[in-house]
A and B are shown apart, each in its own frame.
Chain A
Amino acid sequence: MAEATANGLGQQALHSTHDAATAGKSDTHQEHPIKLYLVVWVWLFILSACSYMVDYFGLHGYLRWSLILIFMMLKAGLIVAVFMHMAWERLAMMYAIILPPILVLVFVAMMVFEADYTLLTRIAFFGPGP
């Protein structure tokens, strides 16, 4: 920890002008106003109700899928950003945690091709489904 601080001090000197500009812009520490949590809570309720309505009204096709994904991403974003305080972390932390799960999308793409191929061979060998 001591070395780390010393190292950090050297960089502080480098960026002292930058820091002077940003210092004092915000005085929040860990406690954020309770109102913020309540607002996010209400929004999570609204978004959940919306995603339930998608099923209740029986929407179909691309409209259904896109609405599901939009509501899902909004809810996940609110939880991670505000409830888990990610919005106030440094970028080094945000990228370390949020970037790897996004790379799972590559895996998703691979498995989409794999599943299509499996379905194709199943139809070719066993005929179309019952």
Chain B
Amino acid sequence: MAETTLTDSSQLDRPQGWRGIAADWASDQRAFKNVSWGKAMMWIFLLSDTFIFGCFLLSYMTARMSTRVPWPNPSKVFALHIGGSEVPLILIAIMTFVLISSSGTMAMAVNFGYRRDRRKTAILMLLTAALGATFVGMQAFEWTKLITEGVRPWGNPWGAAQFGSCFFMITGFHGTHVTIGVIFLIIVARKVWRGDYDIGRPGFFTSRRGHYENVEIMGLYWHFVDLVWVFIFAFFYLW
């Protein structure tokens, strides 16, 4: 039960394809055969979070489509002066690369976790946390810059008033997710470093024994944060 590291479904002695769906969801059994509850619950939480961010982006779409006033051009709003010339959207591009890099290091951390390489796992998780903190720092810089330029939730100097409210709402909520992720990354990295998952030490809150799968569950959350940024980048900054 605990050793649910068998992710490749072709290994499982169960029917595949549509027959597999019917068989897995049939009554009086657990639907997710080779997925532990921790992982299934994280997926279901991420699904609900998808709806939250989906609603934010939807309300942004509705506000932008229904206003008579022209929408401010994000390419110009988020441009930076570098070497005397305006580089469009450069800060956002760097933030995107930082977050993708952190996703890559997280994927590596999960991999080394399953190889029981405590040192590399912990270091890669801390690197992920550092990249995440960098992202939040750059976001704080971006907020400061926009606020000093006069962007408020109720108006801005360049166009439709809804721009500010959408911006602060969407990026603020995403930044909160990144911050929470950084905190949990540090907590899990400490557990890995101490060898909690090797000796099965009980967690301080749930007093349940952890496994290296916890690193993968943490990774699911972190990749989701990156995933949400992909959509925000496309719809809010590029559109």
- Pairing of A with B: yes
A interface vs B, CB < 8 Å?
1, 3-4, 7-8, 11-12, 15, 18-19, 22-23, 25-32, 34, 37-38, 40-41, 44-45, 48, 51-52, 54-56, 58, 64-65, 68-69, 71-72, 75-76, 79-80, 82-85, 88-93, 95-97, 100-101, 104, 107-108, 111-112, 114-116, 118-119, 122-123, 126, 128-130
B104 partner, pick from A44, A52, A89, A91, beta carbons under 8 A: A44
Q: Does B199 contact A (CB under 8 A)?
A: no
Chain B at the A interface: mostly helix, strand, loop or mixed?
A: helix
**With A and B bound together, what is the CA distance between A34 and B11 in angstroms?**
21
**CB-CB < 8 A to A32: which residues of B?**
111
**With A and B bound together, what is the CA distance between A115 and B58 in angstroms?**
11
**With A and B bound together, what is the CA distance between A71 and B227 in angstroms?**
13
Q: Does B108 contact A (CB under 8 A)?
A: yes
**With A and B bound together, what is the CA distance between A129 and B161 in angstroms?**
13
Q: In the complex, what's the smallest C-beta–C-beta distance from A16 to chain B, in angstroms?
A: 8
Q: Closest 10 A-B residue pairs measured CB to CB?
A: A129-B68, A115-B65, A92-B24, A118-B66, A72-B234, A41-B104, A115-B66, A90-B9, A30-B5, A4-B29
29 cross-chain CB contacts under 8 A: A1-B1, A8-B33, A12-B13, A15-B19, A19-B13, A23-B13, A26-B10, A29-B11, A45-B97, A48-B97, A56-B89, A79-B103, A80-B223, A88-B8, A89-B9, A90-B20, A91-B9, A91-B20, A91-B24, A92-B21, A95-B21, A97-B46, A101-B51, A104-B54, A111-B62, A114-B62, A116-B66, A118-B62, A129-B67
B10 partner, pick from A4, A11, A25, A116, beta carbons under 8 A: A25
**CB-CB < 8 A to A122: which residues of B?**
66-68
A4 nearest in chain B by CB position: B29
Cβ of A68 and Cβ of B234 under 8 Å apart? yes
B89 nearest in chain A by CB position: A55
Could you say which of B19, B50, B104, B234 has the most chain A C-beta atoms within 10 Å of its C-beta?
Answer: B234
Q: In the complex, what's the smallest C-beta–C-beta distance from B40 to chain A, in angstroms?
A: 8
**With A and B bound together, what is the CA distance between A61 and B23 in angstroms?**
47
Cβ of B238 and Cβ of A92 under 8 Å apart? no
With A45-B100, A79-B103 already in contact, the answer to whether A31 and B115 are too (CB < 8 A) is yes
With A37-B107, A44-B100 already in contact, the answer to whether A12 and B8 are too (CB < 8 A) is no
**With A and B bound together, what is the CA distance between A101 and B231 in angstroms?**
13
